[in-house]
Structure 1
Amino acid sequence: MKSAFRNAYCFTLSRYSLNPNPSILHFVPSISSFPSLPSGVSNTLPSRSPLCVTFCSTSMAGGDSDSPLTSPSLEKQFEKFRVQLQDSGSLREHIRAVVMEIESATRLMQASLLLVHQSKPIPQVLEKANAQINVLKDLYNKLAEVVRECPGQYYRYHGDWRTETQMVVSLLAFMHWLETGNLLMHTEAEEKLGLNDSDFALDLEDYLVGICFMSNEMPRYVVNQVTAGDYDCPRKVLKFLTDLHAAFRMLNLRNDFLRKKFDSMKYDLRKVEEVYYDVKIRGLATTGDSAGDQGTQKI
């Protein structure tokens, strides 16, 4: 009996709420005048009638239709933003494609240079590594052409090839030291990579970070050379790193990452000093060490 009464009551409410005629409002008092339901039935009914929900949603929908249209100036501005972002994304894709080729050539060069830690002949090691320099030069020229499509935006996209360039500089500097025993200068690095254009040059911080990366290879190189019987290598590397560390001390470094990399150089210098000390006290150093020691102490 209770179930039948509840179904009849719900059907009456839903029939009234579905009526599109606005005169439905005069039925509201008659709905409220229904006799009270038993407590078990009233607890199962929703707290808001379908009529109220339909009336509120209809009122809100009618309010949205009165909202003003988008102003032409605002639409024009964001259309311009859309075009700019689309062009920027397309340019970044082209840059990233060239950077991936640079990264691939860098890995080949690095794999060749790793053989120097296995006491391979230096000319043979450098021959394979030097073959990638011309490849990198062509790739950087290609990258410069892509960046020139957006004049004056060099540092906006510079982060897309910064890490790869720092690694390239470190490898070139290490190769140059193996050949000459001297530091690769900034202008020499630019010449090797073909970055002589003022619009697309080798960033100074990228060069300095690459030099710091190069110093990280020195302790490993010294240990392997001493193991292979080259007891004069620690003296040469110690002299080079001492000069390099003193030169870096002239700079007022404020870049956090560059400052950290420079701080790591003193640990590389300390490791080389320990190796040189061990060679010295064991009497394994060559006769030419005394002159090298005096030159190191003067710095």
Structure 2
Amino acid sequence: MAGVDGSLSAAPPSPTQSLEKQFDVFKAQLEESGTLRERIRHVVSEIESTTRVMYASLLLVHQSRPTPELLEKAKSQIDVLKGKYNQLAEILGEHPGQYYRYHGDWRSETQTVVSLLTLMHWLETGSLLEHNDAQEKLGLNGPEFSLDIEDYLVGVCFMSNELPRYVVNQVTAGDYDCSRKVLKFLTDLHAAFRMLNLRNDFLRKKFDGMKYDLRKVEEVYYDVKIRGLSSNGESVGDQGIEG
């Protein structure tokens, strides 16, 4: 087709050509995303393997095995986890602004990691591992890659699920004061969670489950108290979950 100056101008692309060009772009983007996701999943798989080793050690606390020995074995894996999260940070660093697009690929594993770290910390200190300290242990305190607050909170809820079983086994082994200590901790933790305005989502469901953990521990505590087995009569706030 001749232009106004007599030269030939290129014909506009046909609808078929435009469609093919668009889908060529889609293909390239999907292939790049798939490659990135495979790299992420490889690291996440190694994180999962590490948490299994840690959990296998910590399960033995329910058998009244010496806690320091078990904790040392589990704590030896923390540096391994930190290295894996550093790998994830490096991978995501190559694709700025994509954190929440791929966050779901390691969310569940991170919640499990938090639950193990908080359980270990509680067994050592009787207190809750704070969010900033958990980030520090995992090296997740960078501006582009951090420990999501909801993942931390869900992990704390998972940790509370382990405490009723721990209490039952400790009391059975003769540690009658354990129920008082755990009840005090869970009562305070439940009260702290009640300060949050939680939506009706997974975190809310996990928090709702915490009251059942608290109730189970209360039952053990009151049974010990009624039988006169408690080593002291210190009150933990008998309001419990009713309060």
User: Aligned partners of 2:74, 2:157: CA distance in 1, in Å?
Assistant: 20
Secondary structure of the equivalent of 1:197?
coil
Alignment of 1:1-299 (within 5 A): 70-287=15-232, 289-290=233-234, 293=235
Cα distance, 1:296 vs. partner? 5.8
User: Which of structure 1's runs of 4+ aligned residues deviate more than 6 A?
Assistant: none
Using the size of structure 1 for normalisation, the TM-score is 0.74
Displacement after TM superposition at 1:101 (Å) = 0.2
Within 2, Cα distance between the matches of 1:100 and 1:200?
A: 19
Give the letter for the 1:218 counterpart: L
**Which amino acid in 2 is paired with 1:158?**
H
> One-letter code of the match for 2:131?
H
Given residue 170 of structure 1, which amino acid in structure 2 is its aligned partner?
Answer: S
Q: 1:270 to 1:128 in 2, by over 3 A?
A: same
Contact 2:183 2:236 in 1 (8 A): no
Q: 1:297 to 1:254 in 2, by over 3 A?
A: closer
**What's the counterpart of residue 5 of structure 2?**
none
Identity of aligned residues (%): 74
User: Does the 8 A contact of 1:242 with 1:296 survive in 2?
Assistant: no
Q: What SS does the corresponding residue of 1:196 show, helix, strand or coil?
A: coil
**2:238 and 2:30 mapped to 1: Cα distance?**
55
Tell me the CA shift for residue 149 of structure 1.
1.8
Contact 1:99 1:161 in 2 (8 A): yes
Task: State the Cα distance separating 1:139 from its structure 2 match.
Answer: 0.4
| Partner AA of 1:152 in structure 2 | G
Q: 1:216 to 1:198 in 2, by over 3 A?
A: same
- RMSD (Å), alpha carbons: 1.6
Q: CA deviation at 1:146?
A: 1.0
Distance 2:187 2:125 in 1: 17
Structure 2 residue matching 1:201: 3-state secondary structure: coil
Question: Quick check: 2:85–2:140 contact (8 Å CA) kept in 1?
Answer: yes
